Each structure stands twice: as C-alpha cells, then as structure tokens.
Structure 1
C-alpha cells in the first residue's frame, strides 16, 4: 500500500513512525559486508484545495485534479559487520522544481521527528510537471482567498514528505539492487534553428527558413531496480532526459506522463511498487512534437491512444527492456557511497544592452495589468546587473550529490540543464551506467554556448542564473566527484 497521510491522522502516524525507527536503529543484527538495506514510501502531495499552478507566464488556478501528484522516497543504507556505513535518501516529486526553502523545511521536519538523522544525505528532485502547485510567493498574482497560498502548500508538502522519508527509512530491510538500460523516443529537442543563425524554443519547423534542431537528444532510459530478500520488486527509478510537460497548459493538477507509467507498472508488479521519476539533463528537450505531427497523430488515432498514453507506452516498453537485463543480476553486497559537495558557479554576466532591454520591458509591462510574472522575470535581470555594477554579485551556490551504488553513478544538479552537459557527464563517467538528475533544486535554465549564440527563451539572461562557462565547470566538478567515488571504493 502507498503511504497516504491525512491531516487527521498525521500526528498518530508520526508517533508510530518515531517509535519504529528508534526500535529499528537498535535491533538490526550483524549482517554481511556491504549489505544493502532498502526502504520505500509513496505519498500523495496533491493539494486538498485549489492552488495556483506553476510553470507558465500567466496565473492558472486549478479547477480540479486529473491525476494525483506524488512524492516517492527511496531509502538506502549499507551495513558492514552490523554497522551502518552509508545512507542515501532520494525523493522524486511531481513538481516544477525544488525551491531551497522546500528542501530546508523538509530536512528540518525530519530532524524534528528523528534527531541526528543524516539529513544532508536527503535530496529532492522534480519531474517538471507544469500542472503542479506553485511553491514560491510573489511570482504569480494569486487570489488571497479560496486558494491555498504557496507558503501554505510548502508546509503541507514538507509535513507529508518528511513523514514519508521517516517511514521509508523505518521500513528498510535487506534487499537487492540491479540496473539496466532501455530506449524510448520521448524527448525532442525543442529549439529550432533558422537560416540567420537565430534559434527559438518551439520555433516553427514548417517555415522555409527552418534549417535544423540545435542540439542532440538522449533517448536512453536508465533504470534502477530494488527487490526485497524474497525477490519481490519494491521500487524502481526511471531516469529520462525529458521534462514531464506534455499537458503543461492545462488548469488541472496533473502528474503528466508519469501517472500512466506508474499505473501500468503497478498493474504488473503490485499496487505498492514505488516508482521514482528522475528527469535527466533536458533543458532543451520536451515531449512536444516538433515535426512529423500529422503522421504521429494519425498513428495515435489508429492505436486509440492520446499523447500521454503514447508516451507512457514507449516508456513502459523501455523499462521492460531494461528490467529484463537488470533482473538477471540482482546484487545484495554492492558498495554505496553518497557524497554531498557545496559548489560555487560563476553567474552569467548581464550585459549593458540586456539591462537596457529589460528596463524597457519593465516600463512597458508596468502600464498593463496581469503582468506580475513577466515583471518578476525581467526584473531579475535588472537586479543582477545592478549587483554586478555595485560589486555585490555573489557566485551561484548549489548542492552537488554524487552517489556510487555498485557499478552505477548518480549525480544531481538544480538546473534545467541542457542535454549536451548531461551527455558529457555520461560519456566521461567511470561508471558502467550514469544517472543524471536535474531539478534537484530551484531550477533556471543552464544553456550551451551555441544556445546563447542563437538566443531565444531558455538561452537569454532572463532565463539563466548560470551560463555555459558555469555549465562546463559543473561537468568537471561532477566528473571529479565520480572519480573520487571510484577511488574510494577500490
């Protein structure tokens, strides 16, 4: 069964969980070297009232729930001679991004429930569904009544996710892990390049001036599987280099393509299967069709599918391809190492021309109504330029989590990271298989150099806190962390 926590039951649930975790910490007997213990939990983070939906430039208030949004926890621990040697807590969330405040509040709540819990080993990541709740104040013009405010939702979310983390940790038991690789065409590079060298997100490919797509696509589907001691599949993580934003413009809460994937896998492997959706480096990717639309739509119609079901069909087929290999190599005694580093990256410099253009936009928008989100967006460029000029601009500080689990490597970043950077990490990694998880933080695009040269949304100053130079530094620091993991485990 999934962990589902109601307001009326949360106090009793947490008291029970705290008692169980205290018991588990003191009674696990001596076990084999590097034995892996696994726990999982899935909790609904679907708001119980209307909310503003995050991801577009205009305010949308939810008119209902088309599919629940969830947070899924995977808790791992390694033990040697009965002693805990490492812990790692991974939480995948149906959200646009993970604001710093959300991670902080979740960790604080876990600490309140279980003092001395290793909260630095907790990371949260987002699927980037554009039909999940807003979590930041001040970006959207949200009605003051009849709608759950962002601050209220953050509290709601942190309470539930913290309880799920503690539950997953409490339930951890000896198990086995395995990994595999499948392939699915879900992502399409969404930046069209034209004959004058300019680029545009979702640019019209039917125009005569269209020449190419700007970058590569990564159709690999990296899969991690976890079984209990009786070989029952209890959790799986699916790493796809594509955001979950096929239905991004709707005014309903919706987990996008991942809901149907979860339902299909649970129908085959049990309703209590925990499915973590990890979004890979995909700042320039989207599931939206960029060309061959008529042929694609005809095939979906002939098969009786809508776009979400078509995408989930491909993903489930890729998962099965990976699972067929992974289940042949189930391992119970693999190394687990979780590193957390604080990394500073140079901020993208705002030019004088960009500052002037942003100020002109602000002057024009301030004369109109309903422009709060765009005012906030362009206003950020003005503030950053003024900080540069005053000498008060600070580097972008982020958490970098790198994990070795057997032969696989996992790395996080807080950005909508262009796929070029993720491919570098995978190609140069010492691991057999590498999982790159973006949006383990507050977001903002991190573009390639060719994207900045082409311009357009996602590659302009308004879209970027960090530019290509910082992206390459992130790649090198991630790879250095991987090398350290492999050196440590030798």
Structure 2
C-alpha cells in the first residue's frame, strides 16, 4: 500500500552552473512496501539465508522536489530511500527507464536512490547466492522492486504542493567504530577489545544527527530526512525480513506526528561504523534491560531524541523559498591496485576454503580479485565511474556517493564544506568499502583488497571532488 501526501516546494538546479533565484518550494512524498509476498533470499552475509517470515516490512520512501515561481530557475529531484543493503548495478537504470514512461515531464537523471544497508532485506544481485526452488528468483524481485520504486516516485511527484522546509542538528550515540587496533599494527573488524594486545579503536565516529523537516501549506509536518552516520545492521544475522532500527524510528515518529509523516533514512559516511557494541558492553546492556527495551528500540530511542532536539530549532526557522541547486556530475575514481602480494594471499585463502560447498560465496569474493588483477595486467582495467549528486537547499548541502565510505572522509567533507550543515548519503550505488590509508595498512575485512574496488587514493579524490562541487554552489 502506498501512502502519499502533499509536501514542500524547493529549488533544484542541474549540471550547468547558471545563476539561481529562489522560488516557491513544492514537495511531494510517498511510501511503499518493497516486501515480497513469498520467501526471498536475504543479502548482506557470506552465506545464503532464506526469509520465510517478516519481522518488519522493508519500505521505500520518496521525496519529490520542484522549484516554482515567476523568474525562478526551475528544477526537480526525486530522492528515494530503500531498506536494502545497497543499490546494486542495474537497479537505478531500470527504475529510471520505468519512470520515464510514467512521468515524461520529469528528468530521470534527477532521480537518486539510496539504501539504508539493512542486512535483512532481499537480494538484488544475480549469481551471488544459491536460490532454491520455492524461493523468489532474484530477477523477479528486481522487477517487483523497480516497479514499486517507479510507482512511489510517481506518487510523490504527483502530490507536490507548496510548503516549507527547516533543518536542524541533534546528537546520538548510534554507531561505534568497529575496527580494533592491536600492538602489532594489525586491525580487525569487530576484533576483541579485552585482549592484552588491544591498543585502541582505529578511527573516529560521527554522532551528529542531521535532519531536514518539511511542512505543508497547513503547517502540518509531512516528511523528514534523517542523516545518521551508521548502517542499519543491528539484526544483520537474522533469516527474517527486517528493516532494522529504521522501522522503530519511523513508527515512533509517526506515533508522535501522525501517519501522514514520511521518513527517509539517509546513511552518512560510515564504512567503518556499526551499531554493534565494541566496549563497555555489560554496562550498556544492563542499562538497556533496565529501560525494558530491545536493542532496536534503544537505538531508535536515541535517534528520536536527537531528532526532537533538531526539531525544536528547525521549526523556529521555516523557509518557504530557499535556494535549491542540484548538480549531477559524472566522476572517475582510481581503482585500488592489486599487488602481487595481494594475489598470493588471495590464492592461499581460496585454497584453504576449497572443498566445502558452504564456502562458495566467500570463494567467489576472493576470485574476483584475481579477475581484477588480470584486467590490470592486461591494461583493460577502467577507473570507477560514479554519478555524484550535490544539492544546495538554502544553507544546507546534500551529497551522495556509491560506497561504504569510511567516516574520516565524511568528516573531511563536512569540515571543508561552506554549508551550515552538510548531509552525506552513502550507498547510492553498489556499496563497496572505501578505507583510509591507515585502515588499509592495518588490513582486516573492509580494508583488504577483496573489500575495496576503490582504495584510499580514490576516497580522497571523491572527497576533494565533492567539496569542490559543494563550493561551486555557494559561489553562484
């Protein structure tokens, strides 16, 4: 079932840097379930999991933006947040194709789709998992998904109406850096912190909760975008469909502000972050039990309290005609080189895993490195091509990337940005990790060659290019 309502009016500009005048902001929003009505394979682990039950529906929420007004430079955008692990190759293109047929007046290059990174959402990439009989084929789910994404985009676009927007900042400890450092210089994701050779946590955390709020012409809150530098993977090992902590966040906010409220979950730069506890575990769990909350409820409680803090400020400064500029830029990023040492290590790992059919997914993960090495040696390897979206909305910047981007890059972008607040939306694409140079030196999952198509050099190039485009929006 799709829920839609009228929403605010905003101004968006594209690629070319033309002068912009603020215009009336028109916004629409809608939400749709993307949960299939049959068993489905789940994405996000190195093993096949089949979901036959639904703990909480996975959904897609669309926000449509359009600038209006005499003399204003009109533009448009639709942003969709999905409870998926990533936006795999082909999903965006297929959705745009369907949308172009249903909304001929909308420029489909202005469509952005991002994932919340739940590990208990359906598989959308062929060939990785073995799908048994009686389970929804991946191709069928992709067709179902892209139909729903196109439909929710249309619903949001057709519900556009004038309104106002506000922005605010709160704080919540949702993520912890999940990479442990040891005395020998090595690092490990979720490595034990009570070992004698534990020396610390590798990188920073970002506890800011950046929030956008949208009201309709009757001053009714109808949409909000919540930006948290943490992937939604608290219950990642389950074999049931689950939207993770975003479900509890959405339900809590709707209980307080009405069923008409549409909530977009935006995951910030958080490739080295997780909601899982790294230290002080017993004390944290004791307090959670004393509050009588599940872990998902505890995380949602923290996010909603931060949202409330942001709301108190934002509602005092509602904007009806903010400048909106939207640039879409195709960029190229250097690949992480595959070394001969990498090749030797990968071959050894494949050998150790061979002979056990349960290791098929992991073996395939390692083998892709050998394929990359062959292309590199043959001179046929091409740079990573990414579609970068950067928006200015009044005093706020919004920028996307395809990756699980380590938080240090996000902190750079926010610190160097001229915007009052900078929202970063990762996983607007396939979602491979992009580590820092320090992380790559420490090794471990998320920072080894198997985990990275783009390495630290590419991460810095992405950071610099994003800041450059943001700066250009404040120079116009």
TM-score bracket, shorter-length normalisation: over 0.9
Find the partner of 1:87 among 72, 76, 85. 76
Distance 1:127 1:234 in 2: 21
2:86 matches 1:97? yes
Structure 1 residue 231: Cα displacement: 0.7
CA contact (8 A) 1:67 1:254 kept: yes
Which residue is 1:247 aligned to? 235
Q: Which runs of 5+ in 1 are unaligned?
A: 5-31
CA contact (8 A) 2:22 2:324 kept: no
2:407 matches 1:419? yes
2:418 matches 1:430? yes
Instruction: Give the alignment of 1:162-181 within 5 angstroms.
Output: 162-181=150-169
Structure 1 residue 82: Cα displacement: 7.4
CA contact (8 A) 2:114 2:428 kept: yes
Instruction: Give the alignment of 1:378-457 within 5 angstroms.
Output: 378-457=366-445
- What's the CA shift string for 1:262-288, capped at 9, x where partnerless? 001000111121000000000000000
Instruction: Give the alignment of 1:40-439 within 5 angstroms.
Output: 40-81=29-70, 85-143=74-132, 145-439=133-427
Distance 2:440 2:418 in 1: 30
In structure 2, do the counterparts of structure 1 residues 205 and 364 end up closer, same or farther at CA, with 3 Å as the change threshold?
Answer: closer
> SS of the counterpart of 1:196?
coil
CA contact (8 A) 1:416 1:445 kept: yes
CA contact (8 A) 1:40 1:274 kept: yes
> SS of the counterpart of 1:404?
strand
- What's the CA shift string for 1:116-145, capped at 9, x where partnerless? 4210000100110000001001111221x2
CA contact (8 A) 1:95 1:127 kept: yes
Distance 2:106 2:404 in 1: 30
Structure 1 residue 84: Cα displacement: 6.4
> SS of the counterpart of 1:310?
helix
CA contact (8 A) 1:190 1:201 kept: yes
Structure 1 residue 485: Cα displacement: 1.0
CA contact (8 A) 2:76 2:106 kept: no
CA contact (8 A) 2:22 2:323 kept: no
CA contact (8 A) 1:246 1:257 kept: yes
Distance 2:186 2:395 in 1: 41
Distance 1:331 1:155 in 2: 39
Which residue is 1:22 aligned to? none
- What's the CA shift string for 1:201-241, capped at 9, x where partnerless? 00000111111000000000000000001110000000000
Relative to the length of structure 1, the TM-score reads 0.92
2:475 matches 1:487? yes
Distance 1:82 1:75 in 2: 21
CA contact (8 A) 1:222 1:239 kept: yes
Distance 2:104 2:110 in 1: 14
Distance 1:153 1:39 in 2: 26
2:26 matches 1:37? yes
RMSD over aligned CA atoms reads 1.3
CA contact (8 A) 1:176 1:227 kept: yes
Which residue is 2:3 aligned to? 3
- What's the CA shift string for 1:385-440, capped at 9, x where partnerless? 11111111000001100000000000000000000000000000010000011000
Distance 1:484 1:268 in 2: 39
Distance 2:219 2:315 in 1: 9
- What's the CA shift string for 1:163-201, capped at 9, x where partnerless? 110110010000100000000000000000011111000
Of stretches 349-358 and 313-322 in structure 1, the one that deviates more from structure 2 is: 349-358
> SS of the counterpart of 2:74?
strand
In structure 2, do the counterparts of structure 1 residues 115 and 203 end up closer, same or farther at CA, with 3 Å as the change threshold?
Answer: same
Of stretches 149-158 and 75-84 in structure 1, the one that deviates more from structure 2 is: 75-84
Distance 1:100 1:443 in 2: 10
Structure 1 residue 353: Cα displacement: 1.2
Of stretches 362-371 and 324-333 in structure 1, the one that deviates more from structure 2 is: 362-371
> SS of the counterpart of 1:76?
strand
